[in-house]
Chains A and B, each alone.
Chain A
Amino acid sequence: MSMRRTLIKQLGALLALLLLFASVNGLIYGFLTCRLSNNFSGTDAAKMIDVGQYLPHESGSDLALIQTDFRLEGELPVLDGAAALVPVYASVIHSVYPKGSVTYEGGSFSDDNYYGENFAPDSKMQYKNTVRGYEAIVDGTTDILFCAAPSEAQKQYAEDKGVELIYVPIGLEAFVFFVNEKNPVDSLTVEQIRGIYGGEYKSWKELGGPDRPINPVTRLSGSGSQSAMDSFMAGREIAEKFPLAAFGGSIGFSFRYYMDGIVGNEKVKMLALNGVEPSGENIRNGSYPVIAQFYAIYRADNPNPNVPKLIDLLLSSEGQELIEDCGYVRISE
């Protein structure tokens, strides 16, 4: 009887230990791990955009078309860019490049890989996103990069390599902050957001929300949105956060059209800043307080004569119409 009781106790202890680890890992999974995927598949690969929707010269692609007779001939520039700007540069290729200028490894498009695209090395369309894209433009494997403003490290990388980059603003976009749709906070001031990221505010209660810790989410250093955030902070340091903040109520940042037009997730909401919604109209009339330019970037020593022709096209009324058709705001009337 005593042996049986001991055995039950031992098995109970083993079971309790197993349950403890299962509960801890279950909690981590429920609050954290199950949310760590990309926008376009259940994997944790770097798929920030469904490139397959924006393939030039393919039927069913979601691309804009420039109303122009201009067509590029000769040496065709390689275009690359940030996830948010794939629709823009893919539309440029769709409009003025000859068919066959976009090629794929294996002959046809596939997103069944880490980066979600398989452009061949000789393809005139590439998608390296911001961090690898800046390296490609400096190293000369890309002719024009479509991106947000560079980080200090990216400027330094170009300087260290002795490369001068030309940044041509081609459109406007709102830099937006967003929270879960169930978060009752709808609007914050610029100073309140700087206070959140600077470590001044720790709970949503201090900002009119529930008594829940704030989790200020940052992004990969060198990404377009993180560089825009560093600039938004206007010299204030982004504070180190307590690791368990990941279990709190988050606030994140991105660009308006990427959130609204490309990802389109209805479970998040963009916050009004200083009471102004980040709408196209409020970007145009300048009332939204944080407006970012995005650029076509090329090397000053690029000898390809088609590079300045494409830049001129992007700044023309037809090119600016394309920027609007892609969901962004034109830089010039």
Chain B
Amino acid sequence: MKEKTFRCLILCVLILGILGTVFHLLYAADAYERCSIIRFIAEEPW
């Protein structure tokens, strides 16, 4: 793989990964407002 292609791929994965993680966190923050705290605490890993 050419160095330039590799760098492009890394950059793409990095951007998509960061965007995906940010979207996931935003979704979680929004869902947290409406979720049942009973279920939230019941499903807590101990």
- What is the distance, in angstroms, from B43's C-beta to the closest C-beta of chain A? 4
Report whether A21 and B20 are in contact in the complex, using a CB–CB cutoff of 8 Å.
Answer: yes
Chain B contact residues: helix, strand, loop or mixed: helix
Q: A residues engaging B (CB < 8 A)?
A: 6-7, 10-11, 13-14, 17-18, 20-21, 24-25, 28-39, 44-46, 48, 178-183, 217, 219-220, 246, 249-254, 259, 263, 265, 267-268
B25 to chain A: closest residue by CB: A28
The residue of chain B having its C-beta at the shortest distance from the C-beta of A22 within the complex is B17
The answer to whether B31 and A33 touch across the interface, beta carbons within 8 angstroms, is yes
| A220-B33 Cα distance, complex, nearest whole Å | 6
SS of A interface (majority): mixed
Contact string against A for B residues 9-46, beta-carbon threshold 8 Å, 1 for contact and 0 otherwise = 11001100100110011011001111111111111111
Q: Which of B10, B34, B38 has the most CB of A within 10 A?
A: B38
B17 and A31 contact, CB distance less than 8 A: no
> Do residues A252 and B41 form an inter-chain contact, with CB atoms below 8 A?
yes
Q: Which residue of chain B lies nearest to A218 when distances are taken between CB atoms in the complex?
A: B37
Would you list 29 pairs from A and B whose C-beta atoms are within 8 A, ordered by A residue?
A11-B1, A13-B6, A14-B9, A17-B14, A21-B21, A28-B28, A31-B45, A32-B32, A35-B39, A35-B44, A36-B32, A37-B35, A37-B39, A38-B36, A45-B34, A48-B36, A180-B46, A181-B42, A183-B46, A219-B37, A220-B34, A249-B44, A250-B41, A252-B37, A252-B40, A252-B41, A265-B39, A265-B42, A268-B38
